[in-house]
Amino acid sequence: MREILVIILVFMLTLLVGCQVEDEQSQNKETVQEQDAEILGANNITISLGDEFNPLEGVTAKDDTRNLTDELGVQGEVNTEVPGTYVLTYQVMGTNDKLVTESRTVIVESQSPIISVEEPKVTLFLGSDFDLLTGVTVEDDYDTYLKAIVKDDDGFNKDKVGTYIILYEVTDSEGHTSQSTRTITVEDADTVSK
């Protein structure tokens, strides 16, 4: 009786192991079929405002047997003249008529504005009027209306002899901030002429 039970037990274990191996082989075949195509090179990227951008440049598609790059499609647009985040979706049909997609984020970023100070060093005589923003201009690759502000006037006093370092600042619509300085020296005309 024991021998029969041992034989039945060995038979059942053999069936279970055989079914498990067959099931794993079946799963592996399904996995290979599901991975029949892939899209390569659709990496996220940051570009500068105004740069040329071709969404298909450097992006390829393939399956196990052929190059599918010519069949690659892309949905979405990137406006390189407007800062922002854009999402492109690449798609290609694989050999098993399975649509494969890949998303790519493209960030168009403006550069920091540039503050130009026409006269970075100015000497004034005591009591002379001077507008701290005279000769201060801003250039930006996107925002055209920007003006610098006096962030710190270092206690500038036209009626007090001394050297003052004026700090200018500007922030564009993307949050990029730039700074520049100007040194103003206030002198007593009587002291200079002696």
pLDDT of residue 48 exceeding 80: yes
pLDDT band at 137 (very low <50, low <70, confident <90, very high): very high
Higher-confidence residue of 155 and 21: namely: 155
If you average pLDDT over residues 144-165, what whole number do you get? 95
Is the pLDDT score of 170 beyond 70?
A: yes
Q: What is the dihedral of CA 10, 13, 17, 20, to 10 degrees?
A: 160
Q: Residue 32 — pLDDT band, cuts 50, 70, 90?
A: very low
Q: How far apart are CA 99 and CA 119, in angstroms?
A: 62
| Predicted pLDDT of residue 148 | 95
Percentage of residues in the chain having pLDDT higher than 70: 80
Q: In order of start, what are the domains of the chain with their CATH numbers?
A: 36-109 (2.60.40.10), 114-193 (2.60.40.10)
Residue 69 CB burial class (10 angstroms; 0-12, 13-18, ≥19): middle
- Phi, psi of 59, deg, nearest 5: -105, 130
| pLDDT at 26 exceeding the cut of 90 | no
Give the distance from CA 153 to its chain's centroid: 35
Whole-model pTM: value is 0.60
21-35, 38-52, 105-119, 170-184 — which is least confidently predicted?
21-35
Asked whether the predicted pLDDT for residue 22 surpasses 80, the reply is no
Q: Which residues pair with 105 in a beta bridge?
A: 87
Identify the pLDDT of residue 24.
58
Q: Of residues 36 and 31, which shows the higher confidence score?
A: 36
Weakest-pLDDT range from 13-22, 91-100, 109-118: 13-22
Residue type, 1: M
Q: What is the pLDDT of residue 38?
A: 93
CA distance 30 to 23: 11
User: Which is more confidently placed, 21 or 104?
Assistant: 104
The stretch 50-76 carries a mean pLDDT of 93
- The pLDDT of 101-110, averaged and rounded, is 94
Q: How many other CB atoms are found less than 10 A from the CB of residue 150?
A: 15
- Rounded distance between C-alpha atoms, residue 78 and residue 39, angstroms: 19
**pLDDT of 119-136, one tens digit each?**
999 999 999 999 999 999
Average pLDDT, the chain: 86
